[in-house]
Amino acid sequence: MCELLGMNCNVPTDICFSFTGFQARGGATDVHGDGWGIAFFEGRGVRVFLDPQPSSRSPVAELVRRYPIHSLNVIAHIRKATQGPVGLENTHPFMRELWGRYWIFAHNGNLDAYAPELDGSFLPVGQTDSERCFCHLLQTLRRRFPDAPPERLVLLRALEDFAAQARAHGPFNFLLSNGDCLFAHRSTELYYIIRQAPFAVAHLKDQDVAVDFSELTSAQDRVALIVTQPLTDNETWIPLPTERVVMFADGVYHAA
């Protein structure tokens, strides 16, 4: 299984600290050595860094760890290949454009015999069940809403409907963002935490690194982190509800 990491904030925040612990799991402290990727939204734009190499040995991961890109929505993924060979075209997260916004998707799980009918509007480039599912998801959204729905909650409910049919095929933990908010769905494992005032010291589980967020933040900051396995050993990570799509917007948790 793969590992997911997501961040949603109310002020542009860098993910260097969390990424340090996460990166170590790609081949160093854990077995997920089949590539990794991370996407940072900045306004409507998005930067995606992908590397089919293990993240613990990747020069691109080293850049990401050291270069503080400030973002409201981040999605990262470390891969342990199930369907589709190791290669760039099968490296998450995947990106497409819908309604004039970029969409970013990463999946942890395995969808068995998932062969949706695709009409050609979004087609997979690689061979993973995950990318096929992402294409199906966007096709489903566009058919239901020719234009972007004005309300985030309308989108959330449509995603709940989609997730209900997809998870019948197997474990379907995913993170999805259009740069405005971040959606998460847990089948098996997914935790979150919201860091806000009063901020404290956090200590990584995978490396002996700590950071005092009270020195780096202001009283209004809210940062939600969503991960497959808790990243720190001195904070309380909350399991997401199973088989529900939830939404993080401006660092706040929302359920339909």
Residues noted as catalytic: 2
User: Does the footprint of its own copies cover residue 120 (CB under 8 A)?
Assistant: yes
Phi, psi of 235 (to 5 degrees): -130, 160
Task: Give the residue from 121, 13, 119 showing the smallest Cα distance to 69.
Answer: 13
CA atoms within 13 A on the CB side of 199: 18
Nearer to its own copies, 61 or 111 (CB): 61
- Residue pair 5/76 in contact by the 8 Å Cβ criterion: yes
- Measured from the CB of residue 107, what is the shortest distance to its own copies in angstroms? 17
At a CB cut-off of 8 Å and minimum separation 6, what does 115 contact? 132
Contact residue for its own copies among 99, 191, 213, 237 (CB under 8 A) = 99
Least spacing, CB of residue 182 vs its own copies, in Å: 18
* Minimum CB distance to its own copies smaller for 46 or for 231: 46
Of the candidates 31, 112, 115, 125, which one interacts with its own copies according to CB under 8 A?
A: 125
* 57 contacts its own copies (rule: CB under 8 A): no
Pick from 13, 23, 91, 108 the residue near its own copies by CB under 8 A: 91
Q: How far apart are CA 242 and CA 138, in angstroms?
A: 22
Among the listed residues 146, 151, 208, 236, the single contact to its own copies using CB under 8 A: 146
Q: Hey, how many other C-beta atoms are within 10 angstroms of the C-beta on 223? A: 22
233 touches its own copies (CB under 8 A): no
* Residues between 62 and 81 that touch its own copies (CB under 8 A): 63, 66-67
122: contact with its own copies by CB under 8 A: yes
Nearer to its own copies, 84 or 171 (CB): 84
- Closest separation between CB of residue 242 and its own copies, Å? 32
Nearest residue (CB) to its own copies, 46 versus 74: 46
Run of H or E including 64: helix 59-66
Q: Is 124 a binder of its own copies (CB under 8 A)? A: yes
**15-54 positions binding its own copies, by CB under 8 A:** 42-52
Half-sphere exposure of residue 176, counting CA atoms within 13 Å on the CB side?
A: 30
The DSSP line for 134-176 is HHHHHHHHHHH-SS--S-HHHHHHHHHHHHHHHGGGS-EEEEE
Task: Calculate the CA 135 to chain-centre distance.
Answer: 16
Cα–Cα dist 253/256, whole Å: 10
Q: Residue 238 corresponds to which tokens in the numbers above?
A: 């909350």
Check residue 150 for interaction with its own copies (CB under 8 A).
no
Where do contacts with its own copies occur on this chain (CB under 8 A)? 42-52, 59-60, 63, 66-67, 87-91, 95-97, 99-102, 120-126, 142, 146-147
